[in-house]
Structure 1
Amino acid sequence: MLHSMSTTVESSSERSADEVNEEIRALWRRSGGTLSVEQREVYQRLVLEWASAAPQSAPAA
């Protein structure tokens, strides 16, 4: 189920990487593949939130 996109980014402790990824995908679907300036700003914030929420893997030995 997709929720409406918020204009503020919640901290990574509040949302999982999967939840943020769902919002990123919804943004692209709604935009039709071309982001406006405002949508790009939202996208950039979401990507940063996703990166901080995504599990970090240990480097291979």
Structure 2
Amino acid sequence: MTPNPTSPGSARSADQINDDIRALWARARGSLTPQERQQYEQLLAEWANAIVTAA
């Protein structure tokens, strides 16, 4: 994962970000710690931005 996934100009595709989200949930086994929750929220924001940018 990039150090600041919500930085403008991220070159990662929505598919790449989705892979990171899926991996996070797999590692967490369905229950996120507060730190993982923050990471998930950052990834989700990055994913949403990638979807809008790709459209």
Whether TM exceeds 0.5 here: the answer is yes
State the Cα RMSD in Å. 1.9
Residues 1-51 of structure 1 deviation map (CA, whole Å, 9 limit, x = unaligned): xxxx45531645310000000000000000010000000000000000000
Q: Where does the alignment leave 5 or more consecutive residues of structure 1 unmatched?
A: 57-61
TM-score normalised by L of structure 1: 0.72
**Structure with bigger gyration radius:** 1
Count of aligned residue pairs for this structure pair: 52
Structure with the larger helix share: 2
Tell me which stretches of 4 or more aligned residues in structure 1 moved more than 3 Å: 5-8, 10-13
User: 1:8 is aligned with what amino acid?
Assistant: N
Counterparts of 1:10 and 1:45 in 2: how far apart (Å)?
6
Show structure 2 runs of 5+ residues with no match.
Answer: none
AA matched with 1:43: Y
Change in CA separation of 1:10 and 1:44 when aligned onto 2, cut-off 3 Å: closer
**Aligned-residue identity in percent:** 44
